[in-house]
Structure 1
């Protein structure tokens, strides 16, 4: 390998399931754009619409008006079914999370209407061990165009990239306003869409014991007017899957996170909902003990959404960030929280990672134990080191600058100039932080004793289904911290990107 040539981080069979060609691909940021796109994709599908998710709410409006109202998704799907009755509309969502929907008469009534509509199949996914969840967010159209990322077709997800204070469109089906919300996904056309269709079909068969109907899967229905970010690139598909029902455990997502951390030269930029995986944190700490390590920038929510999630996730995040900060260059990890112009925290639900502007990863997996070994997950990655992807680095850089600029309330060109001037992602962000809409450092509030106990022993965020039944002294953050540091020490040679 010649000097300066990159070694691929993604390796089929190691940290990804398949590497397939995308004729076109584009990153979609925030649900305003995604839901509008989803509406067009569903209207344009010829043979099948397949929606797979952790959550699904038929009451939401995909394109809300100025008051947050509009045609409900459930009615929209009924209209599509009546307009083209031979087109299948297949919906699969996590079963346990869906139980709360049966408390809503409006949702129950809509599901009953779907049940008597031949073109619509709505199913619950319970094909996982106790305590696990189906967490993928995948949509597939005619088996050749797909969307994979972090956005659920659910309530309290819609928002624009402006994250305006008091935006009346940010109103849930219950009529109540909800917090600003940041998210991301990726649309992909071509062979990679077919691979994600296979993944969806497998998941459907596991949940329903029946395969989806075969479709031709040909044609091209890339939306008119949607400019791709990438043309003719190879895309890696990585998964998490717990062992269950004759299917082996899959931990490709965890391996890819570790390999990304090992391979980074300059920085990794993360947008993620959680940071509770001690193994991942320890791998970062091990890098930060080197002489000239990369920077690690995380954009996260101020606190988890929900009381149970706060107990499970927030205290663990504080402990891990403080532990990483003790590394020799611990100041090269910075955790930021975005907020609106009036200071309201923006909830970060995205699961995006960018390494050295040579790799971009978008998916459903959080930086927590559940996403490494319990829940079903799916991420897609474009790595510039793959031969088909030569020259994509400027596009990845543009996407990174756009994301950081969105959070700072500045133009992307300002982010680029500051990084060029300083050579440091952290210094660039610090120089651009200011009043109004911006990023603020995460306030590491000391957790209470109960929260700390839950976090230290990973009671609500175990690393595997079996770990839920281990004795408490045999599990926890410290155990996985040591595992992460040991892994990084064993794999130092992998970090050399240049030949």
Structure 2
């Protein structure tokens, strides 16, 4: 057995492992939204969308409609449901996300119309520990195809891989210009899609008390513009679920993440919205302290999205940077952020981890405490297990992502990494450029006393529901 492969004899780091007949990695929401619409147009029985947020106003093809039906997702689902009365369409989103919907005009009206007369049933998920969020992003169609990753069908997510400056299609429903946004998801068919359907239905049952029966899905659905990266490959499904009511704690994503960090031999490539988990930072530091450990590149946004998140998560990131850098005696760690051709920072929302050419993990979980134990999350893991074809596809995905961020061709990245070449050398060379796509180092600085207090606060970024309860008790007695 390849020494990198996560031990297949233990099952404590995944919930289910099932075969995907086809699986693709989809980068950025322009391709995901179009692929999702294409797949939903092929639905015969059911559409089940599980997300952190949902905005009925967003256009699925803002650069110009090429597929049938309305372009805005809410009217599209209404049109599809009325056109196919037997189609069961359901949406579940985090209940606190409803607060964001108040100022969205058409979204609350669409929700009200659906509630009064269908054809879509939309429910809010409020069955979770206090301050916990429902963060999974799943779309399952007829149990024949499933999307799982980090992209919600909401405002601000759509962008192309060019992340062009002032792209006229990258606007809010009210036509306010939006900044560049980088994200990722997966698409798969076969038993792995059925397993993700089981997870989505269990989320619906926990939130609503209604157990949905299996939806028929014995035929092929696949978006016409999506090319499969893998065929007939095992996919491990990992969850984070906070202990709640009768449901036990599930920490499979944390264990899978730690296992991948421990198993990487030469290269560990990471994209995440945050870098704020002490356990993850300590695991990375342990590898950096080794005399011949892997080089590690972590790609974050330049700052968290929103003032409050920036106050807590950026402070925590500086603390974790310090943990990693203190152990980095051999200069094998970089924490960087991407900018587009004009030098504008690209917001990184993708959650990706690639260990060498052997292990690929994509999903909804960030490298923060909440994602490791407090919010609901779902990641999928592909293990090449020594298969040369799978190894080549994992290497392609990593090199393609690096090429996008560095403003290089994939061939240039692949050639640079051949025969033991260095990701860090590529990143450092990119940072010297004065223009164009590149990755820039996140600056290290001293924390203020207030930031020190916030940096690892259980109130801002709790690891477990019980830790949050203890923090409240300590604060308020």
TM-score range normalised by the length of the shorter chain: over 0.9
Secondary structure (helix, strand or coil) at the match of 1:123 reads strand
For each residue in 1:362-407, what CA deviation from the matched residue of structure 2 results, as whole angstroms up to 9, or x when unmatched? Answer: 1000000000110000000100127xx5631011101111000001
Is 1:26 the counterpart of 2:51 in the alignment? no
Is 1:317 the counterpart of 2:326 in the alignment? no
For each residue in 1:287-346, what CA deviation from the matched residue of structure 2 results, as whole angstroms up to 9, or x when unmatched? Answer: 111121111101110000011111121011011111211115362110111001111000
Q: What is aligned with 2:460?
A: 460
Q: What is aligned with 1:382?
A: 382
Q: Which residues of structure 1 form unaligned runs of 5+?
A: 476-499
Decide whether the 8 Å contact of 1:55 with 1:93 is kept in 2: yes
Displacement of 1:459 in angstroms is 2.8
Displacement of 1:130 in angstroms is 0.6
Separation in 1 of the partners of 2:430 and 2:76?
Answer: 43
**Which stretches of structure 1, 4 residues or longer, exceed 4 Å deviation after superposition?**
9-12, 471-475
Q: What is aligned with 2:12?
A: 14
Q: What is aligned with 2:174?
A: 174
Q: What is aligned with 1:288?
A: 288
Is 1:165 the counterpart of 2:162 in the alignment? no
Q: What is aligned with 2:83?
A: 83
Decide whether the 8 Å contact of 1:57 with 1:155 is kept in 2: yes
Decide whether the 8 Å contact of 2:36 with 2:223 is kept in 1: no
* Aligned counterpart for 1:411 among listed residues 406, 409, 412: 409
Secondary structure (helix, strand or coil) at the match of 2:185 reads strand
Q: What is aligned with 2:43?
A: 45
Root mean square deviation, CA, Å: 2.0
Decide whether the 8 Å contact of 1:8 with 1:384 is kept in 2: no
Q: Which residues of structure 2 form unaligned runs of 5+?
A: none
For each residue in 1:146-203, what CA deviation from the matched residue of structure 2 results, as whole angstroms up to 9, or x when unmatched? Answer: 0000001110000000000110111001321111000000001000000000001100
For each residue in 1:93-125, what CA deviation from the matched residue of structure 2 results, as whole angstroms up to 9, or x when unmatched? Answer: 000122221343322211111123343110001
Separation in 1 of the partners of 2:7 and 2:368?
Answer: 21
Q: What is aligned with 1:398?
A: 396
Q: What is aligned with 1:219?
A: 219
Secondary structure (helix, strand or coil) at the match of 2:389 reads coil
Cα gap change, 1:471/1:57 in structure 2, threshold over 3 Å: closer, same or farther? closer
Residues 94-243 of structure 1 mapped to structure 2, 5 A cutoff: 94-243=94-243
Residues 440-479 of structure 1 mapped to structure 2, 5 A cutoff: 440-471=440-471
Secondary structure (helix, strand or coil) at the match of 1:51 reads strand
Displacement of 1:53 in angstroms is 0.3
Secondary structure (helix, strand or coil) at the match of 1:61 reads coil
Cα gap change, 1:12/1:131 in structure 2, threshold over 3 Å: closer, same or farther? farther
Displacement of 1:438 in angstroms is 1.0
Separation in 2 of the partners of 1:174 and 1:225?
Answer: 29
Secondary structure (helix, strand or coil) at the match of 1:235 reads strand
Separation in 1 of the partners of 2:3 and 2:244?
Answer: 41
Q: What is aligned with 2:34?
A: 36
Separation in 2 of the partners of 1:10 and 1:155?
Answer: 40
Calculate the TM-score normalised by the size of structure 2: 0.94
